[in-house]
Amino acid sequence: MGRLCFYLGGAKSGKTRAALEAAESWPGPWVYLATAQARDEEMRARILAHQRERGESWRTVEAPRELAAALLGLPGQSPVLLDCLTLWVSNLLEEMAEPCNLELVALETERLLRATAERPGPVVMVSGEVGLGLVPMEPLSRFYRDALGRVNQMVAAQAAEAWLVVAGLRLSLKR
């Protein structure tokens, strides 16, 4: 069974950089499992910046929604960096036939965690911490915050290590 490491932080906190360093501590080849979709020019620029940051030694696999299937299809020993759960939850919500259903999000997360546990190689997951701010005014935004919070709790519970990244600094939550 592979090792699961979890990096959590706010926007532009340095969580992806910290996760890249963690994944690169294992021998490659490394796989970057991307959930972002280039839907506009600004997002395309962000994706390109992330690609430049990790360099050409990483293989990128795009999986905006089907993370469990994508993980199971990757070479077993390769370290995998899954970036990020924040966008994955957003992608799930867009495709839901029944909006605002926490149980459907939990079921998808359980599938992802089972696939992670089946991998012999390490998996590093990145997610945004959205529960430290104000309560959103609109119901969909509140649901998103609640859904991502639940996903983060489920992943942290299964992780061998969990880190909070703030201003580029790592705080150990679980080791």
Give yes or no for a contact between 3 and 116, defined as CB atoms under 8 angstroms apart.
no
Alpha-carbon separation of residue 84 from 34, 72, 134, 170 (angstroms): 7, 17, 22, 17
Beta strands in 12-160 (DSSP E): 30-34, 58-62, 80-83, 123-128
Task: Answer yes or no: 61 catalytic.
Answer: no
Q: Count other C-beta atoms under 10 Å from residue 160's C-beta.
A: 13
What's the burial of 34, exposed, middle or buried (CB within 10 Å: 0-12/13-18/19+)? Answer: buried
Q: Which of 3, 17, 47, 50 is catalytic?
A: 50
Which residues are catalytically annotated?
50
